[in-house]
Amino acid sequence: MNRLAAQFSVEEPSAYLKTAVLALGAQSALALVYLAATDAGLAEPRTLAIPFVWITAAVVGVRHASRPTSTGRIRVVAAVVGIGYGLFLACVTGAVGTAMGAVGGLDVLLLPPGWGPVVRYDGAVVSVFLFPYRAIGYAALAYLVSLAVRDVAEYGTPAGLGGLVALGSCASCALPLVAAFGSALGGAGVGLGTTLTGETYLLATVAYVLSVAVLTVRPTVGT
C-alpha cells in the first residue's frame, strides 16, 4: 500500500547562504555604479537595507525553489495565475493603477539604490510607479506562485492531497498581501526622503521574506 506524504523541499543552509552572498555582492556592485553615474544620494542604513533584503530573498527563492515537471498546458495555466497574482499585488501597492489626471508621460526619479531609479508613467489609461526592489520582489513571488500551482495540478488531485498542498501554498500567498498593504500604508513618496515609517516597512519586509521562504520550501508529494 502506498503511503503519501508531504515533504518540504529544503536544501543545505550553505546553498542558500552562497546564493545570498552572491546576490548581495552583485547588488553592492550595481549600487556603487549607480551612485557614481547619477546624483542619487543615500538613505539611513535601515532604509537602505530594505531593497537589498527583498532582492536577495527573491534571488534565493527563485534559485532554490523546486520545479515540478509539468505539461505545456499546466505550465500555461500556472503562468497565467502567477502573472495575475503579480499584477494584483502591483495594483494593491499602487504600483499600477488607473490614470488619475492629465497625461504626464514617462519620468525617472533618481532615489537611493534599490528604491531608485523609480520608473513613473502617467498615461491616458494607466499610471505606473515602480520601485526596482518591489518590481523584482513581486515578479519573484509571481513565479513562485506559478510553481505552487503546478504542484497542485500535478500532484494534488491524483494523490488526494490537493487541499494540503494548496494550504501550504495559499498560506504563503496571503502573506504578501500584508506586505503589500504595509507598503501602501507608507505612502507612494517613501523614497523621496529618509522619513520612512520604520515599523510599517519592517512588517512588509518580514512578511515578504516569510512569503518567499514558504513558497520556496513548499511541501511536495512523495510516496
Amino acid identity of residue 95, one-letter, is A
Domain that holds residue 154: 5-188+197-222
Span 115-155, pLDDT tens digits: 989 888 887 788 888 899 989 998 998 898 888 888 777 76
CA distance 94 to 97: 6
Give the percent of the chain with pLDDT over 70: 71
| Residue 153 DSSP code | I
For residue 119, the cross-strand partners are: 108, 130
Q: What is the pTM of this model?
A: 0.79
Please state the φ and ψ torsions of residue 91, each to the nearest 5 degrees. Answer: -70, -40
CA dihedral 87, 91, 94, 100 (to 10 degrees): 120
CA distance 181 to 93: 6
CA distance 39 to 186: 24
CA distance 191 to 31: 15
Report whether the peptide linkage leading into residue 113 is cis, meaning its omega lies within 30 degrees of zero: no
The pLDDT value recorded for residue 185 is: 47
What sign does the CA torsion over 47, 48, 54, 56 have?
A: negative
CA distance 89 to 103: 24
CA distance 146 to 205: 21
| Residue 192 DSSP code | G
133's grid cell? 526592489
Span 154-169, pLDDT tens digits: 765 443 343 344 444 4
Span 44-84, pLDDT tens digits: 888 889 999 999 999 999 999 888 777 788 899 989 988 99
Where do we find the cell 505552487?
148
Give the residue from 70, 66, 86 showing the smallest Cα distance to 153.
70
Please state the φ and ψ torsions of residue 205, each to the nearest 5 degrees. Answer: -70, -45
Pairing mode of beta strands 219-222, 126-130: unpaired
Average pLDDT over residues 94-106: 75
Amino acid identity of residue 76, one-letter, is V
CA distance 32 to 90: 28
Where do we find the cell 498542498?
165
Domains: count for the chain: 1
